[in-house]
Structure 1
Amino acid sequence: MTVQNVSFLGLGVMGYPMAGHLANAGYTVTVYNRTTAKAQAWCEEYAGHAAATVAEAVAQADIVFMCVGNDDDVRSVTAQVLQTLPSGATLVDHTTASAELARELEQTCAQQNIAFIDAPVSGGQAGAQNGQLTVMAGGDESAFAKVLPVINSYARHAQRLGPAGSGQLAKMMNQICIAGIVQGLAEALHFGQQAGLDCEQVIQVISKGAAQSWQMDNRATTMLANQYDFGFAVDWMRKDLSIALEEARRNGSTLALTALVDQYYADVQKAGGHRWDTSSLLTRLNQS
């Protein structure tokens, strides 16, 4: 099946540029956003159409992409999508949500002959803007094969990891890794500052060895400059970690470090850092 008409629901910091890449790739794109002005602004920047409702946005779509807030948002938007989405279409959810919800929605969509793919992303706002996201997907293999060329409009790598819910489980693993890495980097920088070292010089050295990470390459300098008004917000990270911790309780895994770092993020929130970048873990160490 040749995909021509696509819809994108949710034009936040991720969805806005992702939908833009779809338009630039030549697809006929219809967008919807709860704040109408955001959808209108998108149409002024890209070739596409803004719909007044979710049902209108998806009525002619071959594939619908959505990137909204949480499980409740996904469930609500999906109910509206299913009012008009044609049989044989595919719904792709880029929201970071629970694996349990993904399994539920796959069954709900199947009742109307609609495929459902859970496909959370990693790479942040910069990855979305540059079309360099990593996409972790779960769902039917043939349905994923259909949407993969379209997803590649804004992804550097997209991979199906198993049945519905697998993408969300992989995203949980991603966030678990990030939480530990950022805390380790924060402690290293705090240690270096307390020891009187030139931490920028140290980072130049250790980033060439086994300690290197994306967080070190992209966040160490801004952390040392006490700059946090950008990036992936602490509130969002706590939402993601709560999903991972709930899943761990369900499957019996032990996430001791993740639970500890989640509480450190709670400390950052109490200090007013709800919208600070996740690298702001350093602030609680420097204030102790």
Structure 2
Amino acid sequence: MHRERIGVVGLGRMGSAIAERLASQGHQVTGWSRRGLTAPEGTALGIAVATELGELVAEADILILSLMDEEAVAAVLTALAGHDLANRLIVETSTVGPDIIRHHAPSLAAAGGSVMDAPISGGPDLLRIGRAGFYIGGSETDVARFRPVAEALSDRIHHVGALGDGATAKLVNNMMLLGIWQTLKEALQLGQAAGLTRETMLAFLEGSPAASPAMRSRLPVILGQSDTVGFSLSGVVKDARVVAALAEALQLDLPATQAARQSFEAVEAKGYGEADLAMMVRIATQGKDNA
């Protein structure tokens, strides 16, 4: 069976995991990064290295974007529209607002390319074992073309609607996670103020119906037993701000999400931006047992 050539734009933690996983599954993968990607870095991931964006376009049939923020996504999509994109499928996997991909779609189409959004649920570790999730927005034709690639990365592929709807679905998902962490923080603070220890509460919450896989996986971080980073706290702040911008555009008041955003921003301001997101709960409840 013919396998389309893959180009990965953005080789941060997520992009590197995408590239490494696809290469390990037998795909021909080339990577390009705005910061530059060295040959040894490419070798470590098992991929070829493009020194220019145009070189990547020439070497790939499907271009997967994995970038940090809307500014980076807009810059890359603008640059791509300046190349011949005939028969190229552009897949935007970053967590951004839905209007970014919709705004750039006409110029990408004029250059001959097809485009879809497929933001990812889950971190690098899940990508590397093919267990991440995809929220996909785009045409049936483009989704069908991308599906064999998505299946190498994900066991949870959700085609939720038209172009941009994948981005919206990812933000909805992230809002639920923001709520989980904010509620956990407040629950632990209440229990601590009433005389329970953090360890006692986490022990029974771990097995409760309210527990989530995300919470269970980060208990060592909350308890101060590990500093492993699954997803950075600064990344959560960025995503929360994307949610806030969309809510403002839609004239929606989201008090729970706003409270969660403020909690993460407060801990980021203390210098924990590169720590795991669960550091928010750890810092907010640290040293407060039997208060």
* SS of aligned partner of 1:211: coil
Which structure 2 residue ranges, 5 or more long, are not aligned? none
Aligned equivalent of 1:237: 236
Query: Is the CA contact (8 Å cut-off) linking 2:85 and 2:108 kept in structure 1?
Result: no
TM-score under structure 1 length normalisation = 0.91
For 1:2 and 1:82, locate their aligned partners in 2 and report how far apart those are by CA, in whole Å: 27
Distance 1:54 1:40, change over 3 A: farther
In terms of mean alpha carbon deviation, does 177-186 or 197-206 score higher?
A: 197-206
* SS of aligned partner of 2:86: coil
- Residues 100-249 of structure 1 correspond to what in structure 2 (within 5 A)? 100-197=99-196, 199-200=198-199, 202-225=201-224, 227-228=226-227, 230-249=229-248
Matched, 1:95 2:88: no
Which structure 1 residue ranges, 5 or more long, are not aligned? none
Tell me which amino acid in the other structure corresponds to 1:176: M
Tell me which amino acid in the other structure corresponds to 1:110: A
Distance 1:68 1:154, change over 3 A: same
* SS of aligned partner of 2:59: coil
* SS of aligned partner of 1:278: coil
In terms of mean alpha carbon deviation, does 76-85 or 130-139 score higher?
A: 76-85
Tell me which amino acid in the other structure corresponds to 1:115: S
* SS of aligned partner of 1:56: helix
Query: Is the CA contact (8 Å cut-off) linking 1:6 and 1:28 kept in structure 2?
Result: yes
Task: Give the length in aligned residue pairs.
Answer: 287
For 1:16 and 1:28, locate their aligned partners in 2 and report how far apart those are by CA, in whole Å: 14
Distance 1:195 1:39, change over 3 A: farther
Distance 1:220 1:276, change over 3 A: same
Distance apart, 1:102 and its partner CA: 1.4
Give the root-mean-square deviation of aligned CA atoms: 2.2
Query: Is the CA contact (8 Å cut-off) linking 1:11 and 1:38 kept in structure 2?
Result: no
Distance apart, 1:31 and its partner CA: 0.9
Distance 1:245 1:146, change over 3 A: same
% same residue: 26
Please list the CA deviations of residues 51-107 of structure 1 after superposition, one character each: whole Å capped at 9, or x if unmatched.
101111111321111101211211211233233343121000111111110111222
For 1:26 and 1:242, locate their aligned partners in 2 and report how far apart those are by CA, in whole Å: 37
For 2:225 and 2:187, locate their aligned partners in 1 and report how far apart those are by CA, in whole Å: 15
Matched, 1:32 2:67: no
Distance 1:111 1:84, change over 3 A: closer
